[in-house]
Amino acid sequence: MRKGNGKSEGNLDLDNELPAGRGGDEPAAAATGEAEAGAVTEVETLKAERDALLDRLARLQAEFDNARKRAVREQQEFREFAAADVVKSILPILDSFERALKAGGDAGDFRNGVELIYRQFQDALQKIGVQPIAAMGQAFDPRFHEAIEMVDTTEAPDHQVVDELQRGYKYKERLLRPAMVRVARNSGG
């Protein structure tokens, strides 16, 4: 009995043995050819899977890009529609101004017409959610009031709004424009 790799020749484990070198017997060469053919088909399978995944990725990216563009377009259309709704609510006021300018009459009638238009305009703004900010006689609140001047006076409590120069407005509880006010400064007290 001859010793080769620590095993006797009678108990050769061909599955775990290294393949014979070149010029060896034909069964080892056939096994090598099958292994190479299996490796080639596995590589082709992996390439096909990779190509399918890349194609799927490209399609998903295109779908995402299209969805993003569609969302931007829908948002723009919504803004335009919302603006059109606001304009529709203001058009009757414009009509009233035109009628007032065409009408002849005395100053009292003209003033009454302008006051009517003013009330119409306030109603239209209120319907879309615009509300005036109370200022006169209120305590100064820097969240809603912009102090233009401090006025020395004893007729009003300290830090109270004594004059409103420009009305402030909120849109659905969000500040659009602060009220420009004069605030009392009571130095005597």
pLDDT tens-digit readout, 127-159: 888 999 999 999 999 999 999 999 998 888 999
The candidate with the shortest Cα–Cα distance to 124, out of 78, 83, 92, is 92
- Which has more confidence, 28 or 34? 34
CATH numbers and ranges of domains, the chain: 31-128 (3.90.20.20), 129-189 (2.30.22.10)
pLDDT tens-digit readout, 87-135: 888 888 888 888 887 777 778 888 888 888 899 989 988 988 899 999 9
Burial of residue 14 (CB within 10 Å: 0-12, 13-18, 19+) is: exposed
